[in-house]
Chain A
């Protein structure tokens, strides 16, 4: 084989492998979405039906209008959104303050704090379920979305601080010093100089916390008692009990739950890169 032919063959093999990885990664997601659009005769079959030729919205319609376990799917979506947004709003403010402290100041105990931060990130949330369950009960927050929000803030904060820290550190100190020299107070410097520059990082961190809180199953399952307060991950479990296994409805439901995450995820990837790359002094 001539070197040129070998090179071309190598390229074909390489691209073939790329296509294979692409299919491996995306097929299960595609299978979820396409099952949601298939009529039942194409779902409950031992044959392989790659495309929903009997295309239907019936499952999505049923999920959206009838809901599951006696409640509308919008209620579960709303609960999930409340928990996730509440976590993000409070959590990212706290994370920003802490991240500023460790990225901008050298103080006694800073090293210890960073190590503690790394270690608490690794405490399994599943292990904390039992004590947190009892605390939530004692505080009267059982079966309340507020209880879930408080816990999610705790679970997402260590990583949030860790992630934001690099964004704060990436903002050149000279900008703040310039503002100081011009007579700006510490608060003004923080809000007018640091905050706008850290904003992309804050968005990335917030989206991360949003996704974590949106996806969380175990606390949402055990800290709520009635189906009124359940979030989407818990609601999905009910489809399995209802009328045998209604795969069309499950796939429609999990597609609805996955959609916002995928959108946010694709957003955060870009933001993270741009947040890290975009320099403020270059202009």
Chain B
């Protein structure tokens, strides 16, 4: 008897706390949403955009890399044909793929190192300059930084123009002896920089480093401002020279900044497109392709080969995602999110 009544009472009471919690939560919230749901509701539009415009297309890209997608598939008259690894084996057999990969990697390595060196030097310089001078240089850098990539390409194409370009004029101004010693030639009149893949990339490096160094300089400057001056005073008291101070104090303290800047520059320079497009006047010079240009040229040539284009894009994306892993790790390490 006693037992059953206990059970009955327990069974009667147990749902009560839940009921109480629910009823107490309601009157406080005017919008009628339980508090735990608010962030999720706020995230819905963002998640939809990211899923629909970035993640799903990425998935489609990977699927397409294993399919044949030509005119009938683009028109939607015939479903895509599954071809397995064919797209990959075909592009790996193509010399243009390997020259594109080489161009992409070599360009990124050189452009990233140069931008980092120039940017860091300018950042240190900005830190040492007086207030007015520093502002002047920063404003100058802002201009280089703000020029749209397409206009950057236009500007450098003009500077390196074969007939009326100022670079050929400047090289002709060098004393003949010096010019011969440096480049093995003295006459630069009409030098067509943009016709040959190698010199095309020389111009592209000039262009990208010029446009890319301001961001690095400003970031390094921000990092330098965060280093306490006592450290430098202590180093000076101990008799440390400028180079030693830079190597032993500045570099180690700015290591996280450099890590992020390096990875970001690699990612940007790996997929450079607009500037290259303008400099080579559209996808014309196959020897001068990089991976993104090759993918686009393959996908939109006549007749279009979207499947092989997708396969090339997948290669590019995989390389970039590997680099991204380092970036994400660095960010997670230094920022409390």
Q: Do these two chains interact?
A: yes
A226 within 8 A of B: no
Bits for B127-142, please: 1 = Cβ < 8 Å to A, else 0. Answer: 0111001101101111
Bits for A25-37, please: 1 = Cβ < 8 Å to B, else 0. Answer: 1101101100100
B197 within 8 A of A: no
Say whether chain B's binding surface is mostly helix, strand, loop, or mixed. helix
Flag the segment in B48-56, B90-98, B251-259 that touches A. B48-56
Q: A130-B299, A157-B46 are in contact. Are A250 and B158 (CB under 8 A)?
A: yes
Q: What residues of A have a CB within 8 angstroms of the CB of B320 in the complex?
A: 122-124
Size category of the A interface is: 35 or more
B331 within 8 A of A: yes
Is B125's CB under 8 angstroms from A217's CB? Answer: no
In the docked arrangement, what's the CA distance between A23 and B130, Å? 18
Q: What residues of A have a CB within 8 angstroms of the CB of B4 in the complex?
A: none
Is A113's CB under 8 angstroms from B146's CB? Answer: no
- Most B C-beta atoms less than 10 A away, residue of A43, A101, A127: A127
Q: What residues of A have a CB within 8 angstroms of the CB of B169 in the complex?
A: 46-48
Q: What residues of B have a CB within 8 angstroms of the CB of A25 in the complex?
A: 137, 140-141, 143-144, 210, 214
- Chain A contacts with B in 207-226, Cβ cutoff 8 A: 211, 214-215, 217-218, 222
B148 touches which one: A125, A218, A233 (CB < 8 A)?
Answer: A233
B106 within 8 A of A: no
Flag the segment in A61-69, A71-79, A171-179, A257-265 that touches B. A257-265
B195 within 8 A of A: no
Q: What is the CB-to-nearest-CB distance from A276 to chain B, in angstroms, rounded to a whole number?
A: 11
Is B30's CB under 8 angstroms from A153's CB? Answer: no
A94 within 8 A of B: yes
A191 within 8 A of B: no
Q: What residues of B have a CB within 8 angstroms of the CB of A98 in the complex?
A: 42-43, 45-47
Q: A21-B125, A130-B313, A217-B277 are in contact. Are A236 and B163 (CB under 8 A)?
A: no
Is B46's CB under 8 angstroms from A122's CB? Answer: no
Is A215's CB under 8 angstroms from B142's CB? Answer: no
B199 within 8 A of A: no
Is A132's CB under 8 angstroms from B53's CB? Answer: yes
Q: What residues of A have a CB within 8 angstroms of the CB of B243 in the complex?
A: none
Is B164's CB under 8 angstroms from A127's CB? Answer: no
A119 touches which one: B31, B214, B299, B321 (CB < 8 A)?
Answer: B321
Q: What residues of B have a CB within 8 angstroms of the CB of A97 in the complex?
A: 42-43, 45-46
Bits for B39-68, please: 1 = Cβ < 8 Å to A, else 0. Answer: 110110111011011110110110010000
Is B54's CB under 8 angstroms from A218's CB? Answer: no
B49 touches which one: A135, A154, A222, A265 (CB < 8 A)?
Answer: A154
A148 within 8 A of B: no
Bits for A108-142, please: 1 = Cβ < 8 Å to B, else 0. Answer: 00110111111110111111111111110110000
Q: What residues of A have a CB within 8 angstroms of the CB of B76 in the complex?
A: 138
Q: What is the CB-to-nearest-CB distance from A163 to chain B, in angstroms, rounded to a whole number?
A: 13
A131 touches which one: B57, B141, B324 (CB < 8 A)?
Answer: B57
Q: A25-B141, A116-B50 are in contact. Are A258 and B147 (CB under 8 A)?
A: yes
B296 within 8 A of A: yes
- Chain B contacts with A in 23-48, Cβ cutoff 8 A: 29-31, 36, 38-40, 42-43, 45-47
In the docked arrangement, what's the CA distance between A24 and B223, Å? 23
Q: What residues of A have a CB within 8 angstroms of the CB of B52 in the complex?
A: 154
Is A217's CB under 8 angstroms from B310's CB? Answer: no
Is A124's CB under 8 angstroms from B316's CB? Answer: yes
Q: What residues of A have a CB within 8 angstroms of the CB of B296 in the complex?
A: 126, 129, 218, 222
Q: What residues of A have a CB within 8 angstroms of the CB of B286 in the complex?
A: none
In the docked arrangement, what's the CA distance between A26 and B337, Å? 37
Q: What is the CB-to-nearest-CB distance from B59 to chain A, in angstroms, rounded to a whole number?
A: 8
Q: What residues of B have a CB within 8 angstroms of the CB of A26 in the complex?
A: 140, 143-144
Q: What residues of B have a CB within 8 angstroms of the CB of A105 in the complex?
A: 38-39, 42
A186 within 8 A of B: yes
Q: What residues of A have a CB within 8 angstroms of the CB of B332 in the complex?
A: 115
Is B53's CB under 8 angstroms from A154's CB? Answer: yes
Q: What residues of B have a CB within 8 angstroms of the CB of A94 in the complex?
A: 45-46, 49
In the docked arrangement, what's the CA distance between A128 and B141, Å? 32
Is A258's CB under 8 angstroms from B49's CB? Answer: no
A240 within 8 A of B: yes
B227 within 8 A of A: no
In the docked arrangement, what's the CA distance between A117 and B295, Å? 25
Flag the segment in A10-18, A52-60, A195-203 that touches B. A10-18
Q: What is the CB-to-nearest-CB distance from A42 to chain B, in angstroms, rounded to a whole number?
A: 10
Is B292's CB under 8 angstroms from A124's CB? Answer: yes
Q: What is the CB-to-nearest-CB distance from B23 to chain A, in angstroms, rounded to a whole number?
A: 20
Q: What residues of A have a CB within 8 angstroms of the CB of B110 in the complex?
A: none
B60 touches which one: A131, A218, A258 (CB < 8 A)?
Answer: A131
B300 within 8 A of A: yes
B159 within 8 A of A: yes
- Most A C-beta atoms less than 10 A away, residue of B64, B69, B158: B158
Bits for A160-181, please: 1 = Cβ < 8 Å to B, else 0. Answer: 0100000000000000000000
Could you give 6 example pairs across A and B, Cβ below 8 Å?
A15-B129, A28-B144, A31-B159, A94-B45, A101-B46, A131-B60
The 7 closest A-B pairs by CB, nearest first: A154-B53, A98-B46, A127-B313, A265-B146, A105-B39, A101-B42, A126-B292
